[in-house]
Amino acid sequence: MLKKKPQKKAKYDKRNTLNDLTGREWLLLTKSVWISEKCANDKFAFQHPAPFLINDIKKLVRFFTKENMTVLDPFCGSGTALVASAQENRKGVGIDLSKKYCLMSRKRLQDLKLKKNQQVICGDSLKKISQIEGKIDYCVTSPPYHNILRHNGGGLRETKDKDVRNGARLGVEYYSNDKRDLGNQAQYKDFLKLLKAVMAEVYKKLRDKKYCSIIISDFTVNKKETNASGDVIRIMQDIGFGFEGMIVLVQDNKPLYPFGYPYAYKMNHHHQYILNFRKQ
Ligand SMILES: C[S@@+](CC[C@H](N)C(=O)[O-])C[C@H]1O[C@@H](n2cnc3c(N)ncnc32)[C@H](O)[C@@H]1O
């Protein structure tokens, strides 16, 4: 009989105060390109127009925190960051302006039996972040992409299979009619101003030297391709965050639209950027 090779013990470095990863796990997560990964528990969130996928956020939470640390999502929508935090044994705080989405997050956590240590706060992040008790260890979030859901007929997509997001666009589904909603700023510069004000609150709540990830893609403003990710990097640097690089999150299974065909090049955005920052 063949002798079993003794398994190599995973190596943890005692100097690592950032996360609970072994050297190999750490290295794999430093790749600048990630392929977005679906799982069965993403299905519930497709009632929201723009949810994260749980596995993408779990990777970030594993990299940027240790067990029992606290994660904040100030635009938490369907609560994906809280689900990911709970599954990784982290505490979570999620804020959303919409009562509908707050109820959605709470139901999601309840159905998955993940309510413990997860808090959903309903209200305007601009006001609510400062009211969170204590400091946070990591922020992962995705703001509304200016007002594109109002103008692009984006949001929920028609499909025969309710579990799949692919298919023709179904019409407009935006977050709310609330003036404080970042998605309701008529001017792009006002959207950036409001995002900057919210992220400045995050900066104050975040422990020193800790990280913040913003997930966003470039999009069109008044039909013009706009480097929104670049603008977000600039406002975060103005606040005082150091920019630590971006991960390209590939979403290769989205539908393709012939936006400019047959006259001009108009791109289909099949990736998001995960912009990583650190409090100096
Ligand atoms: C891109 S979605 C986030 C989706 C979320 N990542 C998920 O997995 O479902 C942005 C969210 O920001 C919320 N929002 C917009 N303005 C806000 C504000 N001022 N304070 C708190 N939430 C806000 C919207 O209601 C929307 O749910």
Kind and range of the H or E run holding 188: helix 188-205
Which residues, listed in sequence order, are joined to residue 20 by a DSSP beta bridge?
Answer: none
From ligand 1's centre to the CA of 11, what distance in Å? 38
Ligand 1 atom nearest 175 alpha carbon: 25
Ligand 1 atom nearest 95 alpha carbon: 21
Ligand 1 atom nearest 141 alpha carbon: 6
Could you tell which of 41, 78, 97, 122 is best to mutate to test the pocket of ligand 1, judged by most ligand atoms within 8 Å of the CB? 97
Q: What is the DSSP letter of 155?
A: S
Specify the pLDDT at position 158: 42
Kind and range of the H or E run holding 196: helix 188-205
Specify the pLDDT at position 164: 42
52 lines ligand 1 (CB under 6 A): yes
Kind and range of the H or E run holding 234: helix 228-239
Ligand 1 atom nearest 76 alpha carbon: 5
The domain locations on the chain are 33-146+186-279
Kind and range of the H or E run holding 248: strand 241-250
pTM of the model: 0.91
144 to each of 11, 12, 134, 178, 229, how far by Cα in Å?
Answer: 40, 38, 26, 13, 13
Place of tokens 């601009």: 126
Name the residue with the closest Cα to ligand 1, atom 26: 77
Specify the pLDDT at position 171: 47
Could you tell which of 41, 44, 76 is best to mutate to test the pocket of ligand 1, judged by most ligand atoms within 8 Å of the CB? 76
Tokens of 194: 């409001």
From ligand 1's centre to the CA of 203, what distance in Å? 18
From ligand 1's centre to the CA of 40, what distance in Å? 22
Which one of 3.40.50.150, 3.30.70.1530, 3.20.20.80, 3.30.300.30 gives the CATH number of domain 33-146+186-279?
3.40.50.150
From ligand 1's centre to the CA of 105, what distance in Å? 12
219 lines ligand 1 (CB under 6 A): no
Tokens of 118: 């997860």
Burial classification of residue 111, based on how many CB atoms lie within 10 Å of its CB (0-12 exposed, 13-18 middle, 19 or more buried): exposed
80 lines ligand 1 (CB under 6 A): yes
From ligand 1's centre to the CA of 77, what distance in Å? 5
Specify the pLDDT at position 175: 87
Ligand 1 atom nearest 145 alpha carbon: 1
119 to each of 22, 55, 153, 230, how far by Cα in Å?
Answer: 29, 20, 32, 31
pLDDT means per 10 residues, the chain with 280 residues, are 70 95 97 97 94 97 98 98 98 98 98 98 98 98 91 48 45 80 95 98 98 97 95 98 98 92 96 98
d(Cα 195, Cα 232) in Å, to the nearest integer?
A: 9
Specify the pLDDT at position 2: 64
Ligand 1 atom nearest 45 alpha carbon: 9
Residues 6+ apart with CB under 8 A from 188: 146, 221, 222, 226
Residues 6+ apart with CB under 8 A from 190: none
CA 235 to chain centre: 18
From ligand 1's centre to the CA of 1, what distance in Å? 59
d(Cα 216, Cα 274) in Å, to the nearest integer?
A: 7
